[in-house]
Homo-oligomer: A and B are copies of this chain.
Amino acid sequence: MTRQLHLNAFLMGTGHHEASWRLPQSDPTATTSVAHFQHLAQVAERGTFDSLFLADGPVMMGNVAQRPSGVIEPLTLLTALALVTERVGLIATASTSYNSPYNLARRFSGLDHVSNGRAGWNIVTTAGIEAARNFGVDEQPLHADRYARAAEFLDVTLKLWDSWEDDVFVGDKAAGVWGDNTKIHLADHRGKYFSVAGALNSPRSPQAYPLLVQAGSSDDGKDFAARYAEAVFTAQQTLGDAQAFYGDLKSRTHREGRDPNGIKILPGIVPILGSTESEAREREAELGEHIVHEHGQLMLSRLLRVPIDQLDLDSQLPDDLPPESEIEDFKSRYSLIVELGRREHLTVRQLIGRLGGGRGHFTFAGTPEQVADIIELWFTNGAADGFNIMPPLLPSGLELFVEHVVPILRDRGLFRREYTGVTLRDHYGLARPSNQYVRELSDSVAI
């Protein structure tokens, strides 16, 4: 078996293109339609995708005049999909800054139980003062503090998920003995951010831990990923950048004492598909025409900390932007945008067009063959272990990808024709984690 691609369907209402809701075929209320997401999940599963994924922040962002707003909380939505799908992984974003480890450990354990081992957790630290203020926090926590809290959060949840050894259950009906108390372990955690005394009130789940996913590309984010993550979503605009990121993160993972193959790196790609290249370009142009540039101007002004009157639509970005080191929120996204604008000498209008198409992710318009070529090129040249597929328009963009790109990838031997495992960890070729409280057999043998 040659090395295989991992494909994740990053779902997003009417699609990742910010103007997608304005196209005639789009349902502008799709964002809160469970039927829409059920259909997408079943399409992804037909395409033998490894997983579905939903982003999240516990905050009402932006402005409902501009574009579809309001969501169904992702872990809830993916849990609802667990019994109407069979194999596709279900990766929900949840914040380490605005949750309690005990509650969140229960929720992911529960999703893993009901889905028979298909839960994944995209671990985020949640930037922005607006989210903080929904949780009684009046000052935005600093970037480094957020990551320190995230690391302790992970340590606690890993303890909780190991609370039950796998063989707690005895089930002696005659004697009236249900389980073995000696195989239950208290978290007994007292740290800087959390105190959690007890054991999780749930047996160890099919995967033990959800697949651990991370998506921040700052230095803190990469160090965190190297320590904990099993899959990483990232935004990379060029093969060179993607190779550099890939090499850097694999090295950091190795330095953490982990197998670099145990962390799969999935850059985002926004594939705009057409049966010919010109049809694809027409679709891209049609989407671009629906962008409202004034909205993008406002968004850039906030993200780059520049007054809006210094962002002339027909000029390039101002020269005197602050360095990334001074930025506390959305660090890696900040650098990506500034570098994209400078490298390609884009006007603000052009930059808004590029960002509106895929929010900083790599956008590519072409035929299914051309999209498959790009995927293969990155996959076989040290830039990717798979891709985070971000259709510009939904459901059609995912349907087209599954009908036309997936078969090419299969014919080239790069992607599975059918699921060979049951759990999300199976799809990723990862073993079920051992229990930190159980002495490994090999240790005992060594004595």
* A276 CA to B399 CA, complexed, in Å: 59
A176 touching B69 by the CB < 8 A rule?
no
Identical chains bound together, number: 2
Mark A62-85 against chain B: 1 for CB-CB distance below 8 A, else 0: 011111111111001101111110
Report the interface size for chain A: residues with CB under 8 A from the other chain.
80
Considering only residues 71-116 of chain A, those with a C-beta below 8 Å from chain B are 71-73, 76-77, 79-84, 98-100, 102-103, 106-107, 109-111, 113-114
User: A59 in the interface, Cβ–Cβ < 8 Å?
Assistant: yes
Interface hit among A161-169, A359-367, A407-415: A161-169
Shortest Cβ distance from A42 into chain B, in angstroms?
12
For A173, list chain B residues within 8 Å (CB).
21-24, 26, 28
* A257 CA to B285 CA, complexed, in Å: 60
Chain B residue at minimal CB-CB distance from A82: B80
A195 touching B136 by the CB < 8 A rule?
yes
For A77, list chain B residues within 8 Å (CB).
110, 114
User: A135 in the interface, Cβ–Cβ < 8 Å?
Assistant: yes
A103 touching B179 by the CB < 8 A rule?
no
B76 touching A195 by the CB < 8 A rule?
no
Mark A187-219 against chain B: 1 for CB-CB distance below 8 A, else 0: 100000011111111110000000000000000
B113 touching A103 by the CB < 8 A rule?
no
User: A241 in the interface, Cβ–Cβ < 8 Å?
Assistant: no
User: A292 in the interface, Cβ–Cβ < 8 Å?
Assistant: yes
* A203 CA to B203 CA, complexed, in Å: 35
Shortest Cβ distance from A352 into chain B, in angstroms?
14
B202 touching A72 by the CB < 8 A rule?
yes
* A133 CA to B211 CA, complexed, in Å: 27
Contact of A114 among B80, B138, B168 (CB under 8 A): B80
User: A60 in the interface, Cβ–Cβ < 8 Å?
Assistant: yes
B176 touching A292 by the CB < 8 A rule?
yes
A102 touching B70 by the CB < 8 A rule?
no
16 A-B residue pairs with CB within 8 Å: A29-B171, A63-B181, A64-B179, A66-B176, A69-B178, A69-B179, A69-B201, A72-B110, A72-B114, A73-B109, A76-B110, A77-B110, A80-B114, A133-B196, A133-B197, A134-B196
| 8 A-B pairs closest in CB distance | A64-B179, A76-B110, A133-B197, A80-B114, A60-B201, A73-B106, A136-B195, A73-B110
| Chain A residues with a Cβ under 8 A of chain B | 19, 21-24, 26, 28-29, 32, 34, 38, 57-61, 63-73, 76-77, 79-84, 98-100, 102-103, 106-107, 109-111, 113-114, 130, 133-136, 138, 163-164, 168-171, 173, 176-181, 184, 187, 194-203, 290, 292
